Amino acid sequence: MIVMGAGLGLVFVPLSSVALTGVRPADAGVASALLNATQQIGGAVGVALLNTLYTASQTRSIAAGSTTLETHLAGYRIAFTVAAVFFAAALLVITLATHQARRPRPTSATAAGHNPPP
């Protein structure tokens, strides 16, 4: 529980900060509500998906005549593998999105090939 609490604290606070950076003060309430709703829906759908994969894998293992331990391990293996793939995909998207945000955007003068005088 301590590790989970520390992990959630290290993820959700910076996530909220990054998600709300650049939002106008007038839109801060809407942006915060959207962030919270997305987190809740994503958590519910994610748990349901992983539980479905775990159960389906267990059902296949039972049908194949596996032992109880093998059945549980097969369920955990598929659930954790899919969770790791989703995590890696999210990390890639976040990395690319924040990298795009840091790049300086060309102004209309530099885009047209005109450099302003120094």
- CA–CA dist 36, 12 (Å, integer): 10
> Taking each helix axis from N to C terminus, what angle separates 28-63 and 2-20, rounded to the nearest 10 degrees?
140
Note the pTM of the prediction, 2 decimals: 0.67
For residues 73 and 108, the model is more confident at 73
- CA–CA dist 112, 94 (Å, integer): 31
For residues 101 and 13, the model is more confident at 13
Lowest pLDDT segment from 31-40, 57-66, 101-110? 101-110
The one-letter amino acid at 69:
L
